[in-house]
């Protein structure tokens, strides 16, 4: 399939072209997500051109190739458009650093004002109390702590089996890709999963009794040794 053979404007971005072809093919965002095995958020980032929100260059390229294959689009043309857009983005990004910002005006205090000082102390005291109460409330209402000790973000492996390890708040329930795993008294957990070739999305969630949830997603790239 060629972009020119479809009714997609030539001055559209790559993401807009992909979105137009998806809709023309009758795929909803949910359906294309299921077909590609990529979350809807990542597909939105692709279609909106927010590549900086994706896990990394290798994942972005993998996602675009999957998208092209699903819609029977020429992969080489997709990758060329992506490369061109990245060049423009890098130029715009570098130009932002050259914007001149005028120096901030200096504030001078001509003399010490006892009334101002007293009022400032009172305000700071009240703010400190409010901050403490807010911290206590957040501590009670906050979701459980969740840390993934392995694997790190954007991990690439040639091993089919991957062991997920981490720690959460004790007495929390942990799910790995929807499957509950055991958590010890210190909140530590481990679960071994089987990867499929390509990009694997691993979703780890921790729940407390108050139904508060913490979620961490890891994108794992499994490549066979050649």
pLDDT by residue (tens digit) across 84-133?
888 877 777 666 555 555 555 555 545 557 777 788 888 888 888 888 77
Kindly report the CA angle at 37 between 190 and 31, in degrees rounded to 5? Answer: 135
The CATH class that applies to domain 146-222 reads: mainly beta
pLDDT, mean over the chain: 82
Give the pair of three-digit tokens for residue 205: 């969630």
Q: Which residue has the higher pLDDT, 102 or 213?
A: 213
Residue 5 has pLDDT above 80, yes or no: no
Residue where the block lists tokens 């403490």: 132
pLDDT at 9: 45
d(CA 173, CA 206): 5
Q: Which residue has the higher pLDDT, 209 or 70?
A: 70
pTM of the model: 0.44
Residues of the chain with CATH 1.10.260.40: 3-95
Residues of the chain with CATH 2.60.40.10: 146-222
CATH number, domain 3-95, options 1.10.260.40, 1.10.10.10, 3.40.190.10, 3.40.50.300: 1.10.260.40
d(CA 105, CA 40): 46
- Displacement of CA 154 from its chain's centroid (Å): 11
């Amino acid at each position: 399939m060629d972009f020119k053979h479809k009714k997609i404007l030539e001055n559209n971005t790559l993401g807009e072209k992909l979105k137009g072809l998806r809709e023309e093919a009758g795929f909803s965002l949910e359906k294309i997500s299921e077909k590609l095995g990529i979350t809807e958020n990542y597909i939105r980032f692709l279609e909106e051109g927010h590549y900086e929100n994706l896990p990394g260059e290798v994942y972005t390229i993998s996602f675009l190739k999957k998208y092209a294959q699903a819609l029977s689009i020429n992969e080489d043309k997709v990758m060329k458009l992506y490369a061109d857009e990245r060049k423009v983005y890098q130029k715009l990004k570098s130009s932002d650093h050259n914007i001149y910002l005028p120096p901030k005006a200096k504030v001078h205090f001509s003399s010490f004002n006892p009334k101002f000082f007293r009022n400032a102390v009172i305000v700071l005291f009240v703010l400190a109390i409010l901050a403490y109460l807010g911290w206590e409330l957040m501590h009670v209402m906050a979701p459980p702590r969740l840390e993934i000790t392995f694997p790190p973000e954007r991990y690439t492996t040639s091993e089919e089996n991957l062991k997920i390890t981490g720690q959460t708040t004790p007495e929390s329930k942990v799910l790995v890709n929807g499957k509950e795993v055991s958590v010890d008294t210190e909140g530590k957990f481990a679960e071994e999963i089987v990867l499929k070739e390509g990009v694997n999305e691993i979703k780890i969630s921790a729940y407390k009794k108050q139904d508060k949830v913490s979620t961490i997603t890891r994108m794992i790239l499994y490549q066979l040794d050649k």
